[in-house]
């Protein structure tokens, strides 16, 4: 973000000292494009501005770019940004530690910014910047920051950063349309993330409370395409953090997160399975994670499995990463509890094709499941240091009669992040009186095979291999 501020402050790099100053910059950009040059002598971008108003101490001037006479070419060399026009040149020294060289690209159009001692605003149609491994683009945006302290002078790069870490609101510029966000990231393991969101707002209040509301969002990560309906995020950052440190903010936020994601649809592009998740609570507080999903459904083209009222409680040490699946699996294997009061497994031949209607037409993929249907109930899984104790009631038809069995399973779970695998080693199965273990295992595995969807599960002797 420092780099972002640096780019916005390109035309304002002189130092402001006094709070009582009326140093200011207002500039309207018609278009500004920058691509990091491979050759320092080649132009690296173009700047077209409509109007600029600048002041420092007693010097102020207004410039209107009438007839585009100040349309400029931009150069980046020797830590200096130069704007060259036929009539004048402007050079801005960025200093040796500005980090500007890490910025791969910047682009904005039809936007304007105001910088003065009391506040910072930046609004417009489009703004994007790219680094080597990520890019961020926002459209229809209005950002406003204030330090909430009239004694503090925000008219500097540090001042803007301080203000935006105190009070920040990011809204739609044109309120009839959403604020658009696109983020692309390249991970070291080769995975690529492409995240798109239509947002209502992102706010930071009192230096602490971060809130974001999305109208909808979608994300492509590896083989998964995830669609999300309306969503709300609340989390905290430390109030004394007044500089933008994305790692600290991300960590503070994930350890205090409260997410409301009523509807999520996940498409696995490689094996044609789809997931539907209704969540009521996703939060992390005091090194514990709690997840409650009224409905989770897995479908392929032939069958479905639906769980009702699943809850998941796991430890979540501050050092663990909430958005890293393997990190959270490791946490849950250390100490976790999963409860599934009801599970229904069915043959389906149309449901998979209706999943596209869930978010667009409010289609309920569980509406056809009768309230009495269940293949398993009261499933409880307790995990402690990679040991698992499972108890459940299973229902299967014997000679046409639905019969209930209670089963207890003990085992251990081997977690192989590098192979993206979980291996459950079944050690002991508590069987109903009158059943031979070997026979029960066949019945149990039969139920499990029926209850599991997709190609991610494989049975190898007494081991269940889950490919993530």
Partner 1 sequence: MKKLIYAALVLFGTSAFALECSGSNGFAVSVDGTGNGELSTPAESVTLKNVNGSGNYYFAKVNEGNIRTFTLSVSPGSQASTLKIIYMRGAPESVDVTCK
We find the least distance from the C-beta atom of residue 162 to partner 1, in angstroms, to be 16
Query: Cβ neighbours of residue 431 under 8 Å, at least 6 residues apart?
Result: 407, 437, 440
Site map (CB under 8 A) of partner 1, residues 269-288, x = contact: --------------------
Stretch that binds partner 1, among 112-120, 221-229, 294-302, 371-379 (CB under 8 A): 112-120
We find the least distance from the C-beta atom of residue 142 to partner 1, in angstroms, to be 7
We find the least distance from the C-beta atom of residue 144 to partner 1, in angstroms, to be 6
Binding residues for partner 1 restricted to 168-207, rule: CB under 8 A: 171, 173-175
- By the 10 Å C-beta count (0-12 exposed, 13-18 middle, 19+ buried), 26 is classed as middle
Q: Binding residue for partner 1 (CB under 8 A) from 105, 112, 311, 378?
A: 112
Query: Cβ neighbours of residue 99 under 8 Å, at least 6 residues apart?
Result: 2, 3, 6
What's the CA gap between 461 and 62, in Å, rounded?
79
State which residue, 26 or 258, has the beta carbon closest to partner 1. 26
What's the CA gap between 467 and 461, in Å, rounded?
16
B/e letters for 314-342, b = 16+ CB within 10 Å, e = fewer, are: bebeeebebeeebebbbbbbebbebbbeb
We find the least distance from the C-beta atom of residue 10 to partner 1, in angstroms, to be 20
Question: Is 421 in a helix, a strand, or coil?
Answer: strand
We find the least distance from the C-beta atom of residue 118 to partner 1, in angstroms, to be 6
- By the 10 Å C-beta count (0-12 exposed, 13-18 middle, 19+ buried), 281 is classed as middle
Using rule CB under 8 A, residue 332 touches partner 1 = no
We find the least distance from the C-beta atom of residue 160 to partner 1, in angstroms, to be 15
Stretch that binds partner 1, among 55-63, 274-282, 362-370, 417-425 (CB under 8 A): 55-63
Residue 90, beta-bridge partner list: 83
Decide: 103 and 3 in contact? Cβ < 8 Å: yes
Using rule CB under 8 A, residue 226 touches partner 1 = no
Binding site for partner 1 (CB under 8 A): 22, 24, 26, 53, 55, 60, 62, 112, 114, 116-119, 121, 123, 142, 144, 146, 150, 171, 173-175
């Amino acid at each position: 973000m420092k780099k972002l501020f640096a780019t916005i402050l390109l035309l304002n790099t002189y130092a402001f000292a006094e709070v009582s100053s009326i140093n200011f910059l207002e500039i309207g950009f018609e278009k500004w494009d920058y691509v990091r040059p491979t050759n320092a002598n080649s132009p690296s971008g173009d700047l077209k501005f409509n109007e600029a108003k600048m002041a420092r101490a007693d010097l102020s001037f207004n410039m209107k770019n009438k007839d585009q006479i100040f349309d400029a070419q931009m150069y980046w060399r020797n830590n200096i940004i130069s704007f060259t026009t036929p009539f004048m040149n402007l050079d801005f020294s960025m200093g040796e530690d500005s980090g500007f060289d890490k910025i791969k690209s910047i682009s904005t159009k039809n936007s304007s910014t105001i910088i003065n001692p009391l506040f910072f605003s930046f609004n417009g149609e489009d703004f994007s910047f790219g680094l080597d491994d990520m890019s961020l683009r926002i459209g229809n945006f209005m950002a406003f920051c204030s330090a909430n302290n009239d004694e503090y002078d925000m008219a500097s790069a540090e001042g803007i950063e301080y203000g935006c870490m105190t009070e920040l609101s990011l809204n739609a510029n044109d309120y009839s349309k959403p604020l658009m966000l696109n983020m692309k990231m390249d991970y070291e393991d080769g995975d690529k993330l492409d995240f798109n969101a239509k947002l209502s707002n992102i706010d930071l209040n009192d230096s602490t409370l971060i809130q974001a509301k999305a109208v909808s969002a979608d994300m492509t990560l590896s083989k998964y395409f995830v669609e999300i309906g309306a969503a709300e995020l609340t989390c905290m950052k430390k109030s004394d953090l007044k500089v933008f440190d994305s790692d600290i903010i991300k960590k503070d936020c994930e350890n205090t997160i409260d997410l409301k994601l009523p509807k999520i649809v996940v498409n696995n592009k490689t094996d044609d399975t789809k997931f539907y998740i209704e969540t009521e609570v996703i939060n992390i507080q005091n090194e514990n994670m709690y997840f409650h999903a009224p409905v989770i459904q897995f479908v392929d083209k032939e069958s479905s499995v639906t769980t009702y009222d699943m809850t998941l409680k796991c430890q979540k040490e501050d050092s663990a990463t909430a958005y890293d699946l393997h990190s959270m699996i490791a946490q849950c294997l250390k100490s976790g509890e999963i409860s599934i009061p009801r599970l229904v497994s069915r043959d389906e031949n149309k449901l998979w094709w209706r999943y596209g209607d869930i978010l667009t037409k409010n289609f309920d993929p569980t509406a056809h499941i009768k309230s009495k249907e269940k293949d398993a109930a009261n499933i409880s899984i307790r995990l402690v240091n990679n040991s698992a104790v499972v108890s459940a009631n299973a229902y299967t038809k014997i000679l046409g009669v639905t019969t209930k069995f209670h089963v207890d399973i003990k085992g251990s779970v081997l977690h192989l992040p590098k192979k993206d695998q979980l291996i459950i080693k079944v050690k002991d199965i508590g069987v109903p009186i009158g059943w031979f273990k070997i026979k029960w295992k066949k019945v149990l595995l039969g139920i499990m095979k029926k209850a599991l969807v997709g190609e991610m599960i494989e049975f190898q002797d007494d081991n269940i291999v889950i490919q993530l």
